[in-house]
Each structure stands twice: as structure tokens, then as C-alpha cells.
Amino acid sequence: MRRNLLTLTILILILFLSVLSKNLDPYIYQILVFFGINSILAVSLNLINGFTGQFSIGHAGFMAAGGYFSAALSVYQGEKLLNILSFLPKDLAQGAIFLVFLILGGLFSAILGLIIGIPTLRLKGDYLAIATLGFGEIIRVAILNLDVVGGPRGFPGIPKLTDITWVTFWAFIAVVVIYRIINSSHGRAIISIREDETASESMGINTTYYKVLAFSIGAFFAGIAGGLFAHYLMMLHPSSFTFMRSVEILLMIVLGGLGSITGSIFGAFILTVLPEALRGFAHLRLIIYSLTLIIMMLVRPSGLIGNREISFYRIFKFLRRKGIN
Amino acid sequence: MLSIKDLHVYYGGIKALQGINLDVKEGEVVALIGANGAGKTTTLRSIFRLTPIVKGDIYFYEINLTKLPSYKIASLGIAHVPEGRRVFPNMTVKENLEMGAYLVKDKKVIEKNLEFVYNLFPRLKERQKQLAGTLSGGEQQMLAIGRALMSNARLLLLDEPSMGLAPLLVQEIFSVLKKINEEKITLLLVEQNANMAFSIAHRVYVMETGKIVLSGPTEEIANNEAVKKAYLGG
């Protein structure tokens, strides 16, 4: 019942947004799109860092891989496929192709995650962080030297297919998939790795398998986010996927709360909106931004939400308790 | 049931174990005693493949454990109560116990095991909704033992269950260990507290700097002059 209520609310929200977006101020619209994309990135990174407890800072690399892959498919194969599917209504054909390309981009990222994860996930803590950072940079530098996707000139001419409905849809999928994983017996295994890896291995849990699994699923959604990002901006450049981008995603989950899905979304919201809200302060903007982060970490070191979740059920319970007293 | 044959483990250049031979028979309580750094914990961890084994074999019935990855060993019916307890701090007591039954798929068996553990440690039942990290040291030790029992294990490996606990709690833990053994569960116990170990063990191995120097039935070892001097306070 609770879950049905949530699904219904989200569906209504998607519908509402797609109708509303026609009259929305383009500036607000863009912020909302980036908020959605950032939510996908934050939730997927939280699966790796917050729930599995593996400190990865190479998320921008996976985002780049998926983004470039699906963008290249769109640019080089999109027209051809559209002609083949010409018997379908154009919007439907376009949408179906976009969906497939996004998923392929995600899968490409997931495979990269698998290849990178198997050797590096033997490392722990700081060492893993440095290794994933290195791999993220390798992906970026590889793209920088790939002429098919424009190399250092950037990759223009990507069709604009992403809109707020797509972004909301994928954010919803990411949240549901990761929520379902976390609340299954696989999720218990994943969380026990974070709690104590040796002990969880003694319980008979194949820790390497679960770490690589979480890493690949995280990479998959980062790839999807990259694809959405590419088809929104219509142009990709390797400089969008530097180390700073990975840090930004990491900030979202640390700020929102490691090990909380709602926390990640909250963190994504704040880190998307805050820089925009501070535009009025011109050159003081970055200082205020940094100060806000420092203060938040001092006041709430476990993140805004910690490792709890906010749900309708909890809100109802809270309100009822208030009502009785 | 378990037999370790000529086991050598090196940590880099340090030879932690130099040819250990050890046998555990079904239904026994075997104690492994020795001073700090003698290699007791290393021996126990080797059974779960948590150490770099250079040479030697470990057999559980006919299965050679040195050929298996760690996570497979639990499925054979061996459970490990690690040194320093290592409970999952941000999970509740009940969730910790359920993690112990991770490989058990039958819900009825899990229920039954849970009942068994709660009977042994009524304190855990009282605290089943509490986060494990907030338990006292003794309760965490009970939880670690309970968690190991949830897996239907026939062989329990215990690493210093008395470590850091008040004497009264140590006695409580050991009386429960005795009860567990009466349920036909075999125990291999690593202890520094030789007196406590002797109170429940059938047989004892004494280790010194990576070798087993003495072994035999408990009465024999307990009356050995050298052991008395070194471990039993004169």
C-alpha cells in the first residue's frame, strides 16, 4: 500500500511536470533537469559509497563513458534507425531509439565498471579512492584522444532528446531499483560488507561478487545520467567530466547522508540549487558556497538525513504523534 | 572432523606458523592456548583462509579447505566467532542474527535457530531491536556467538571469547559454551585464559612461537609442571 502510494505520486508528478514544463521558465526548467540528472548520479554513487562502503571517486568517468557512448550512437546511427522505423509515428520511434541508446550507454559504463571493479575492489579505503580516481581520469584522457567523438574539440551535433519527463522517469527508475536492491537479502549482504567485511565473509557472503555488483550497477546509472546530460546539452566536452565533477557528486551524498536514498536526492537538490541561488552575490558566490558546506559538515557531520530514509509513512507517523500531543 | 596438516603461514618475512598439526574430533571441545604472538589466532584464521598459507593442508572431513574461497567455507558448516567480536554495529541484534543465517534459506529453520540462540542468551532477546554497536562488550560477545550458531554450524571456531570481559561474564559465556557443546556442536577454542579453557576442554594444544609444543587430554596438560608455571600462575 505504502509503495503503491509512492508509485502513484511519482507518476502524477511526471505527468504534472511534462504538462507544466511547456509553460515553465527555461532557466528554472534547466535547473530542474540538472537536479534530476544529479539525483541519478548521487543515488547511484550512494549505492557504492554509502551502502557498500567502498570509497569510489571515479563517478564522472562512468558518466562520461555512458554519455559519449550513447551520444556517438545517436550521432552515427540515429538517422539510419529512424529511417528503418519510419512506419512508426516519428515521436514514438525517436523515443524508442533514445531509450535503447541510453540503456546501451549505461551497459557500456557497467561493463567498464566490471573491468575496473574486479582488480581495484581488492583495495580498501584511501587506496581504492586513488585507484578509482585514476581510472576516472584514464577514461577522460582516452576520450580526449578519440577523434571519432571530437577529442579535445568536443563532440557537437547530438540531437536534443532529453526533456524533464525523461529525466524524471530515469530518476524514478534509479531510485526504485536501488531501493529494491537495498531492501532485499542482497542488500543485507551489501550493507554487511560496509559494516564489517571480514565478518560478512565469515557469514558465507561472497564479498567480491557483491562489491563488483554494486559497483557495476552504480556505473550503469552514471552512464544513463551521462546519456541524459549529453542529449540535453547537445554537445559534450571532456572538461565536463574532470575530477571536480566526481567530487561534486561525492559532496551531494556526504551532505545528504551516506547510506540514505532520500538523503542523496536532498543533497543533489541543494548542490544544484545553491550555486544558482547565490548568483546574486557575484564574486562572493564561491566563498559563501564553500562556507555553507563547511558549516553544514560541522553542524551535521553525518549528513542532513544521516542514514535514515524519509517516507510518507514516517511523515504520517510524525504528524499523528504531533496531533495527539 | 577437522585436521590441520603441516601448516605454514608467513606474513612477509615473519614465519607465523611453522608446521602446525592439529586434529578435532566430532563432539569435542579442543582448546588452543599460548602466549601473545604464538600463532593461535593465525591458526584459526587459516581455517577460514584469511591468512596467506604457504604450505600445508586443512581438511574438514574429506574436503581440503585450502582450495576453497573464504565465503564457501561457511556453507560447509563451519562458523567463526572472530577476535574482537566484529558484530555489525549499525544493524539491530535481530538483524545481526539473521545475517548469521544468511546461507539458510528455510524460514522455519531460521525461526528455530533464533529460538535456540534466545534460549541460550535471554539477554539478546530483550535487546533484539537495539543496535549492536550500542551493546556492552559481553553482550556483543554473546551476539557474535549467537550469530555464528544461526548458520547450523557443526564446528564453531572461537577466537578469545573471554577477551576484555569481566570475570563474571567470562564464566557466563563459558557455561553457555558448555551447553552448546552438549547440543553436539564441536568447538575449537583459542584462549589466553588457560584456566577457563581447561574448565570445558576435552583436549588441549599448547603453542609457542608458531609451533605446537605440547598436546594431550586436559588433565594431563593441566598437571604438566611447565604449563602450570607458564599459564596457570604457578
Q: What is the DSSP string of B119-151?
A: HH-HHHHHTTTSBGGGS-HHHHHHHHHHHHHTT
Chain B residue with Cα closest to A199:
B86
Please tell me the distance from the alpha carbon of residue B170 to that of residue A28, in angstroms, as a whole number. 65
* Residues B164 and B229 both lie in one domain: yes
Burial of A288 (0-12, 13-18, 19+ CB in 10 A): middle
- B104 plus B148 within the same structural domain: yes
Give a yes or no: residue B49 inside a domain. yes
**Out of A185, A196, A207, whose CB is closest to B88?**
A196
Q: Provide mean pLDDT across the span A105-130.
A: 90
Together in a domain, B97 and B197: no
pLDDT tens-place string over residues A171-208: 989 998 999 999 898 999 999 999 999 889 888 899 99
Q: Are the Cβ atoms of A204 and B50 closer than 8 angstroms?
A: no
Whether residue B71 and residue A206 make contact (CB cut-off 8 A), yes or no, is yes
Query: Are the C-beta atoms of A50 and A307 separated by less than 8 Å?
Result: yes
Q: Is residue B179 part of a domain?
A: no
Q: What is the pLDDT of residue A8?
A: 65
A-chain CB neighbours of B86 within 8 Å are 196, 198-199
Q: Encode pLDDT of B18-48 as tens digits.
A: 999 999 999 999 999 988 888 999 999 999 8
pLDDT for B171-212, tens place per residue?
999 999 999 999 999 999 999 888 899 999 999 999 999 999
Q: Which three cell numbers stand for residue A295?
A: 558549516
Tell whether B83 is within 8 A of chain A (Cβ): no
Q: What is the Rg, in whole angstroms, of the alpha carbon atoms belonging to chain B?
A: 17
Reported confidence tier of residue A301, pLDDT bands at 50, 70, 90:
confident
Separation of CA A230 from chain center: 14
pLDDT of residue A318: 73
Contacts of B88 in chain A (CB under 8 A): 191-192, 195-196, 199-200
Tens of pLDDT, residue by residue over A127-168, are 888 999 999 999 999 999 999 998 899 999 999 999 888 998
CA A192 to chain centre: 23
Whether residue B177 is contained in a domain is answered as no
Residue of B70, B93, B97 to mutate when probing chain A, most A C-beta within 10 A: B70
Read off the pLDDT of each residue in B107-125 and give the average, rounded to a whole number.
Answer: 94
Sign, Cα dihedral of B208, B213, B215, B218: negative
Cell numbers describing residue A212 = 563488483
Locate all alpha helices (DSSP H) within chain A, ordered by sequence.
2-20, 26-46, 59-84, 90-120, 125-144, 164-182, 185-195, 197-202, 207-233, 243-256, 261-277, 285-299, 312-324
> What residues pair up with B191 in beta bridges, in sequence order?
B33
Which of the four pLDDT bands, split at 50, 70 and 90, describes residue A70? very high
Mean pLDDT, range B47-75, rounded to an integer: 91
Tens-digit pLDDT profile for residues B131-147:
999 999 999 999 999 99
Does residue A223 or residue A163 have the better pLDDT?
A: A223
Closest CA to A34 of A292, A222, A228, A170: A228
Quote the minimal CA–CA distance from A40 to chain B in Å. 26
- Domain span at residue B34? 1-76+154-170+185-234
Confidence check: pLDDT of A236 > 50: yes
Calculate how close chain B gets to A188, using CA atoms only, in Å.
7
Confidence check: pLDDT of A1 > 50 = no
Average of pLDDT values for B12-18? 89
Question: Is the distance from CB of B32 to CB of B188 less than 8 angstroms?
Answer: yes
The reply to whether B137 and B230 lie within a common domain is: no
- Top residue of B92, B95, B102 to mutate, by most chain A CBs within 10 Å, is B102
Strands B29-34 and B14-24: unpaired
Tell me how far apart the alpha carbons of residues B223 and A242 are, in angstroms, rounded to a whole number.
70
What pLDDT sits at residue B201? 94
pLDDT of amino acid B146: 94
Please report whether residue B205 resides in a domain.
yes
The mean pLDDT value for B92-121 works out to: 93
Q: Is B178 a domain residue?
A: no
Cβ-defined contact of A204 to B102 (cutoff 8 Å): yes
Rounded-to-integer distance, Cα A290 and Cα B133, Å: 34
Encode burial over A179-206: b for 16+ CB neighbours within 10 A, e otherwise.
bebbeeebbbbbbbbbbbbbbbbbbbbb
- Report whether B117 contacts B185 (CB < 8 A): no
| Residues B147 and B82 reside in one and the same domain | yes
User: Is the pLDDT at A15 greater than 70, yes or no?
Assistant: no
Q: Which CATH number do you get for residue B35?
A: 3.40.50.300
Classify strands B29-34 and B53-60 as parallel, antiparallel or unpaired: unpaired
Q: Are residues B205 and B222 in the same domain?
A: yes
From B71, B40, B43, B54, select the one nearest B11 (Cα to Cα).
B54
Both B160 and B67 in a single domain? yes
Domains of chain A by residue range: 33-255
Q: Does residue A53 have a pLDDT over 60?
A: yes
Q: Mean per-residue pLDDT for A7-14?
A: 68
Do B161 and B147 belong to one domain?
A: no
Q: Is the pLDDT of residue A265 over 50?
A: yes
Question: Does residue B180 lie in a domain region?
Answer: no
- Residue B27 inside a domain? The answer is yes
Q: Residue A35 above 70 pLDDT?
A: yes
**Which pLDDT score, from 0 to 100, does residue A121 have?**
86
B222 lies in a domain? yes
| Whether B57 contacts chain A with CB within 8 A | no
Contact A158, A74 (CB under 8 A): yes
Least confident of A19-23, B27-31, B158-162: A19-23
Q: Which residues of B touch A189 (CB under 8 A)?
A: 102
Rounded (to 5) percent helix, strand, coil in chain B: 40, 30, 30
Q: Do A203 and B50 touch (CB under 8 A)?
A: no
CB proximity B151 to A under 8 Å: yes
Distance CA A67, CA A65 (A): 6
User: How does DSSP classify residue B92?
Assistant: B
Query: Looking at beta carbons, which residues of chain B come within 8 Å of A195?
Result: 88-91
Are the beta carbons of B48 and A191 separated by less than 8 Å?
no
Q: Nearest by CB to B88, which of A199, A207, A307?
A: A199
Residue A303: pLDDT band with limits 50, 70, 90:
confident
User: Is B99 in contact with A200 (Cβ distance < 8 A)?
Assistant: yes
CB contact under 8 Å between A191 and B91, yes or no, is: yes
Q: Residue A148 to residues A78, B102, B212: CA-CA distances in angstroms?
A: 16, 49, 66
pTM: 0.88
Nearest CA in chain A to B88: A195
Measured between beta carbons, the chain B residues lying within 8 angstroms of A307 are 90
Number of domains in chain B: 2
Check whether residue B161 and residue B212 sit in a common domain. Answer: yes
Q: Is residue A125 pLDDT above 80, yes or no?
A: no
Rounded to the nearest integer, the mean pLDDT of chain A is 88
Distance in Å, alpha carbon of B151 to nearest chain A alpha carbon: 8
Average pLDDT, chain B: 91
User: Out of A198, A201, A203, whose CB is closest to B100?
Assistant: A203
Distance from CA of A197 to the nearest CA of B (A): 9
A7 pLDDT more than 70: no
Q: What is the pLDDT of residue A9?
A: 66
Chain A touched by B74 (CB under 8 Å): yes
